[in-house]
Amino acid sequence: MQHTCANIIHLFQSIIALPDTILAKLDAVLFELHRRGWGDWPAALLLLSPAFLILSVFVLAPMVSSFYMSLFGGRHGLGHYVGLENYVIAMRNLEFRSSLMVTLYYVAGVVPLSLTISFSIAYGLYRITIGRGLLRSIYFLPYITSAVAAAMIWRALFNPQNGAINILLNYIGVESLNWLLEPHGALYIITNGYIPSNWGPSLALVCIILFDVWHSCGFMTVIFLAGLTAIPRELEEAARIDGAGTFRLIRHVTLPMLSPTLFFLLIVGVIKAFQTFNSFYALTHGSSMPGTQNLILYIYAQFYEYGYWGYGAAVATLLMLAIVLLTLIQWHFVGRRVHYS
């Protein structure tokens, strides 16, 4: 324990220029607390204190402030106290429900597609030896490209009048589509009206989903590739000796060993998908069309277009609670299936 305390003190000394007398007293206090039965808790709290301070200032304080703001009504400022009325209004608001459904469709489309495509690319890169570094850089380029700049290119491709995609469709005899301006459901268009237009994501939302899958796959591919390279080759060789083919090897060896990476990307991907703003705003120019307005755009409109600060803060608080609840559910049901050995 004394060696551990010394390492902690040296760490603080390398980060913060504190006098030796203060560091010596801190070392003595930690050792005394450990001797009295406190264990490693004091040292752990000391190491976590800088991160907790940063989170308190930039995360916890804004969350508390947002909740306080949600208890007031009025426009362009804090008006009269209304309690939880803003939350009741949000639950009854059809536009809020529509934005929530758009968000859920988006999350359900982006996260599974991104994980599947990224794993497939990473597994292919893992199996090849020639040009792996070059291909990895190429696949990572979309992620480091500005989302707004890339969205402008995609807007040009999806242009209803002279976009490259419609020109290609006309060339093979298919009618032009409105793409990012189409409020009807993609299933409605595919089935030629057999499925109601309000079922499933709109065609415009499908375009946004495809854009974000393309934009985010680079990050996930690199993380998957790092996880694949950490798997011991002996396990794969033993499975192949036992007669396992490629698919059985992936199912029974690769994916279980890759479960911590999958779990991390699932948590991060879902949180990021719920908070997506840039792609929606850039591809639709902030349009409030029901088929493409997610909760973040809805909150943005309440704050900056309509001036309902209290109501916007209430919706933001509900979104935060939904993300926390969904993350806890994932930790409970998915986290227990993760293999860390």
Taking only the tens place, the pLDDT of each residue in 110-139 is 999 999 999 999 999 988 878 878 888 888
CB 168 within 8 A of CB 253: no
Q: How far apart are CA 273 and CA 323, in angstroms?
A: 10
- pLDDT(339) > 80: no
Query: Hey, which bits of the chain come out as E strands?
Result: none
**What does the pLDDT read at residue 75?**
82
Helices (H), 59-184: 61-69, 85-92, 94-127, 132-144, 147-157, 164-171
Per-residue confidence band for 15, with pLDDT thresholds at 50, 70 and 90? very low
Query: What Rg value do the Cα atoms of the chain yield, rounded?
Result: 26
Q: How far apart are CA 152 and CA 215, in angstroms?
A: 13
The CA angle 38-332-314, to the nearest 5 degrees, is: 95
Taking only the tens place, the pLDDT of each residue in 229-254 is 888 888 888 888 888 788 888 888 88
59-73, 201-215, 325-339: least confidently modelled range: 325-339
Catalogue all structural domains in the chain, each as residue range(s) with its CATH number.
Answer: 2-69 (no CATH), 87-337 (1.10.3720.10)
- pLDDT(338) > 90: no
Taking only the tens place, the pLDDT of each residue in 172-212 is 988 888 999 888 888 888 888 888 888 889 999 999 999 99
Beta bridge partners of 185: 202
- pLDDT(96) > 90: yes
Taking only the tens place, the pLDDT of each residue in 138-157 is 889 999 989 889 999 999 99
Global model pTM greater than 0.95: no
Using alpha carbons, select from 238, 297, 341, 316 the residue that is nearest to residue 70.
Answer: 316
Alpha-carbon distances of 108 from 196, 200, 325, 333, rounded to whole Å: 20, 11, 16, 17
Per-residue confidence band for 35, with pLDDT thresholds at 50, 70 and 90? low
Q: How far apart are CA 217 and CA 125, in angstroms?
A: 14
**What does the pLDDT read at residue 184?**
87
DSSP letter for 163, please: -
Per-residue confidence band for 25, with pLDDT thresholds at 50, 70 and 90? low
29-43, 57-71, 116-130, 149-163: least confidently modelled range: 29-43
Q: How far apart are CA 110 and CA 74, in angstroms?
A: 36
